[in-house]
């Protein structure tokens, strides 16, 4: 892992941040789907 350049590490970190953000949004939406007062249906 020491052979990676700083650019590759920064890019991978940004990808990880984006994927974590998307995962957090899906998790939040999934949890809110089970809360009775949030959804109108």
pLDDT tens-digit profile of 11-37?
Answer: 778 889 999 999 999 999 988 888 777
CA angle 15, 16, 18 (to 5 degrees): 65
Residue 41 has a CB neighbour count (10 Å cut-off) of: 2
CA 11, CA 33: separation in Å to the nearest integer? 33
Put simply, whether the predicted model's pTM sits higher than 0.75 gets the answer no
What pLDDT is recorded for position 6?
60
Please report which residue ranges of 1-41 form alpha helices under DSSP H.
6-33
Torsion of Cα atoms, 7 then 10 then 16 then 17, to 10°: -140
């Amino acid at each position: 892992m020491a052979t990676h350049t700083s650019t590759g590490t920064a890019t991978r970190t940004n990808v990880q941040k984006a994927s974590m953000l998307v995962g957090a949004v899906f998790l939040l939406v999934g949890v809110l789907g089970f809360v009775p007062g949030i959804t109108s249906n």
